[in-house]
Amino acid sequence: MSGDSVSMKTIDLRSDTITQPTDEMIEAIVKAHKSGRFGDDVIGEDEVVNELQEKAAKILGKEAALLVTSGTQGNLISLCSQTSRGDEVVVEKQSHTFMFEAGSMASIGGLYPKPVEGVRGYILPETLESVISPDDAHYARTRMVVCENTHNYAGGTVTRPEQIKALASVAHDHDLKVHCDGARLFNASVALGIPARKLVEDVDSVQICLSKGLSAPVGSIIAGSTEFIHAAHRTRKKLGGGMRQAGIIAAPGIVALEKMVDRLNEDHENAKLLYESIKDIPNLVIEKPETNILFLGLQNLNINQMQLAEELAKENIRVYGGYGVRTRMVTNRMVQRDDIDHVVTVLRRLLK
Ligand SMILES: Cc1ncc(COP(=O)(O)O)c(C=O)c1O
């Protein structure tokens, strides 16, 4: 070995979106290209996209599925394809659709969000029932409710099938559609040890991200009835989401669905290990993670979020500094168990 200093690995806990595609994903792109399977997906001629959509529909137990560019686009298409402008959509007040999608449901969809308080991200059926507007000319028509599973801002919390059934039952009794923002649906399914389709049996539409813990470089899937996907196809086109040789995205997406789901458990184990190793730090506000997201509340400590992010960066650990009033850490495929040991050592020193 030369005497050069060995550069230290960066441990990136900002998000599971930082995951790099696997070699197998890149090989799948090359293989599909060499066998001439790419085509113009706007006219439905990309064989790889068609394969991904069929596979995703089957996994999710839905009639049909559609590849979209991102989670945000998938949510927006799902909302807009099942409502009309001026309709009201009930959302959890810390949900991604409400807080982090640039207000697109209002600005682009013309939809009126009605935010309600959830319990660990879950909208209680009685809460939904109490906010559905009466059929009176003074009110916007309440047409939809959005649930998020796992729920990002609540800390990667899992909603169980019976909870979704109870919420959907109230929604359907009042003629509301139910959309599931399942950006991390597979984290919920792995945490509960049940197939993903069990979590979306009672919803009308679902969006799943291929590009988060599943490590694909780009893309999300939306799924639901054939009628919904037919409408969603037009909405995607309107939003500029029609893509040409999109098999380049779909090929890694297929690998993501086939090979990357079960390993999410490693991310969950690493999040638990991190929690168990720092939970006794005095004055740290922390809850046991159900999946791969952990929030640290620093309000009672002598360091704020920005300072913590800066100090961690000096030790090659990356977290977002300005994420609300808490520090979020998201375990992912690029972070190994040994890395967690290093993070624990540094955190214990900084959070004294
Ligand atoms: C719960 C949830 N929904 C939707 C999205 C949006 O996905 P994208 O970043 O692909 O638009 C995210 C992204 O982090 C998310 O965490």
* Segment 26-36, tens digit of pLDDT: 999 999 999 99
3 pLDDT above the threshold of 50: no
Assess if residue 54 is contained within a domain: yes
Centroid of ligand 1 to alpha carbon of 345 (angstroms): 30
> Residue 7 has what pLDDT?
67
Q: What is the pLDDT of residues 54-96, one digit of tens each?
A: 999 999 999 999 999 999 999 999 999 999 999 999 999 999 9
Residue 130 identity: S
The predicted pLDDT at position 350 comes to 96
Q: Which CATH number belongs to the domain containing residue 323 in this structure? A: 3.90.1150.10
When the pLDDT of each residue in the chain is averaged and rounded to a whole number, the result is 96
Tell me the percentage of the chain whose pLDDT exceeds 90: 95
Q: Which domain covers residue 324, as residue numbers?
A: 263-350
User: Binning pLDDT at 50, 70 and 90, where does residue 6 land?
Assistant: low
Statement: residue 5 has pLDDT above 60: no
Does residue 4 lie in a domain region?
no
- In a shared domain, residues 253 and 139: yes
> Does residue 55 sit within a domain?
yes
What is the pLDDT, as a whole number, of residue 8? 82
The preferred substitution site among 100, 184, 220 for testing ligand 1, maximizing ligand atoms within 8 Å of CB, is: 100
Specify the ligand 1 atom closest to the Cα of 209.
Answer: 10
Ligand 1 centroid to Cα of residue 3, in Å, is 44
Residue 51 lies in a domain: yes
Where among 259, 275, 306 does a domain terminate? Answer: 259
Q: How many whole angstroms from 72 Cα to the centroid of ligand 1? A: 6
Measured from the Cα of 148, ligand 1's closest atom is 1
Domain edge (last residue) among 197, 224, 259: 259
Q: Averaged over 182-204, what is the pLDDT?
A: 98
Q: Is residue 152 within 6 Å of ligand 1 at its C-beta?
A: yes
Last residue of a domain, one of 236, 259, 282: 259
Q: Where are the beta strands (DSSP E) in the chain?
A: 11-12, 64-68, 88-92, 112-116, 142-148, 177-182, 205-209, 220-224, 285-286, 293-297, 317-318, 326-330
Whether 127 lines ligand 1, by a CB cut-off of 6 Å, is no
Q: Are residues 323 and 310 in the same domain?
A: yes
Q: Tell me: do 190 and 46 sit in the same domain.
A: yes
pLDDT at 1: 37
Residues 130 and 79 in one domain: yes
**Predicted confidence (pLDDT) per residue in 202-258, tens digit:** 999 999 999 999 999 999 999 999 999 999 999 999 999 999 999 999 999 999 999
Q: Domain for residue 300, yes or no?
A: yes
Say whether both 137 and 168 belong to one domain: yes
Task: Give how many domains the chain has, as a whole number.
Answer: 2
183 CB under 6 A from ligand 1? yes
Assess whether the C-beta atom of 333 lies below 6 angstroms from ligand 1. no
Identify whether residues 185 and 305 lie together within a single domain. Answer: no
C-alpha 41/C-alpha 60 separation (Å) is 22
Residue 9 lies in a domain: no
Q: Give the CATH number for residue 204.
A: 3.40.640.10
